[in-house]
Copies of this chain bind each other. A is one copy, B any other.
Amino acid sequence: MNPRTGTEPTRRQLLMRIGVAAGSAAMYQAMTRLGHAAGTDFAGSPSLSGARPGTTVLVLGAGLAGMLAAYELRRAGYGVRVLEYQSRSGGRNFSLRGGDTLTELGGATQHVKFAAGNYINPGPWRIPYHHQGLLHYCKLFGVQLEPFIEVNHNALLHSSVAFGGQPQRYREVQADFTGYTAELLAKAINQNKLDQPIGDDEKHDLLAAMRGWGLLGRDYGYRSGNLASLHRGFARDQGGGPDGAPVPAALFGRAELMKSGLWEWLSFNMSYDFQTTMFQPVGGMDMIGKGFAKQVNDLVTHNVKVTRIAQDGNGVTVTYEDNSHGGAVTEAKADWCVCTIPLSVLSQIDVQAGGPMKAAIQAVPYASSVKIGLEFKRRFWEQDEQIYGGISFTDQPISQISYPSTSYFADTPAVLLGGYMFGAAAYAFAGMTPEQRVEEALRQGSVLHRQYRQEFSNGVGVAWSRMPWTLGCCATWSEETRKAHYAALTAIDGRLVLAGEHASYVGCWQEGAILSSVSAITRLHQRAVGAA
């Protein structure tokens, strides 16, 4: 949220408000929508010219922010080197496929057994159309994209305490919520019961709007019939030949629908961040990380653990353990440093910076999230239920089930996202063994899909709080920490500048890494050539 607008509720207030259902689903909504809202201000590749010959930059971290910095700074004429903790580039941008292994804090190792071609994206998994920075570099680096389906009107909305615990179709909830809302407002308008004077013209327009939008009858009633079924679907669909007439569906009760809280998902899906058209890379999100790495991997030293970042008026000295060489303590020097190490890790490293930046590094907590990939022998969600891509939501801890937005209609095994949790649910799942996470996702998912147990093949559960290289999934700024620390975190401190999603207003999205990096290197370049 934006600290500029003092009249807005604080993020904490919003979180409390959203907590109508107060469960995992509400937390998911809050984290993904309110914590780090929408849109970016990308204005094209940075144009960095006039670098002084021989100037060097050390980039820490080969995630998207670090690799972008390396790519653009080398292009501008700088001598660049990148140090990366892991044995691969990409950072939180990665995908898991059959044959991969994943070891987490505590030592548990998962061996992924997905069929060939299948994958799960434990980190980022979708790209809003307005994340123009990321889309720009995807195109530049040849990463093919395909539509990611967010809203699926035939997917399920589930509340354990409404409709007898039975999941309902998104389209039915949306149609009836719209219809009842329109009916109530139309009746209030018709009887001149609004609290403010509304002229005859606007009254006429409002009534037309409620009737047309909500598919009301001539008496402004919302009721079962073919009209309502144009939005919610039919009890018996239309057909061909003599017996083709449809049968309209019955409606939900208004009180139960409103009480269910399922309308939250209608609002959630109107979010700027989740509006059409969203994208995903063809073949897995790591195609982006790999596309970036192709440009700069010759600059990257993998398997090194940074232990100290020192600086003086002449440059930076980074101390690291070289894990490709028995952990040998080594120093790297450069004129400047772009550090993209997540704050959760950086806060445990000895950083020579001014008090404000050091305080900022310590101030921002990291969210935990858990993602669970489940492979099934067949696409029962398509074959049995006509759900092609999109997301079903539930108030159970798993929060959601997302169906693959690719290879529709295939007869091969397929992987869905069987849970995506923030907050308490994420910590609870992180406390389980990987096998328990998968088992629990199966148990909860079976409430939405009876086919789960029979069709299940294998699964993987990734707890971000147990990833040693990030210790959480992303930075969670509050209004208060943003006000107190954001300026210091993003300012150039001597010869050091930070970048990554944590140094942006587009937190928890890849776009934040891109824009933060563009901002950081643009300012660093100005400083380096003496212009700022």
Contact = CB atoms under 8 A, between A and B. Distances in A.
Contacts of A259: 201-202, 205
A185 B195 contact: no
A478 interface: no
Among A42, A132, A193, A272, max chain B CB count under 10 A is at A272
Nearest to A178: B270
Contact of A226 (B1, B247, B266): B1
Given A38-B237, A248-B2, A490 B271 contact: no
A201 B259 CA distance: 8
A187 B238 CA distance: 40
B177 A240 contact: no
A286 to B, nearest CB: 19
Interface string A211-231: 111110110000001110111
B41 A505 contact: no
Interface string A61-92: 00000000000000000000000000000000
Interface string A166-204: 000001001101100110110111010111100101100
A163 to B, nearest CB: 14
Contact of A135 (B215, B231, B409): B409
Interface residues of A, number: 129
Contacts of A499: 240
Contact of A239 (B41, B152, B226, B386): B41
Interface centre among A210, A246, A520 (most CB of B within 10 A): A246
Contacts of A8: 225-227
State the number of copies, please: 2
Nearest to A139: B409
A500 to B, nearest CB: 9
Contact of A208 (B20, B149, B187, B233): B20
Given A9-B217, A130-B386, A188-B193, A212 B18 contact: yes
A153 to B, nearest CB: 4
Given A40-B240, A240-B519, 17 more contacts: A5-B225, A8-B226, A20-B208, A38-B230, A41-B236, A130-B154, A146-B147, A181-B181, A185-B185, A212-B263, A215-B267, A230-B272, A231-B272, A238-B504, A244-B505, A246-B505, A277-B388
25 contacts: A2-B226, A5-B225, A38-B238, A41-B236, A41-B244, A147-B147, A147-B389, A154-B277, A177-B213, A187-B195, A193-B193, A193-B194, A202-B258, A205-B255, A213-B264, A230-B271, A231-B271, A239-B505, A241-B515, A242-B487, A243-B519, A244-B516, A246-B505, A276-B389, A277-B388
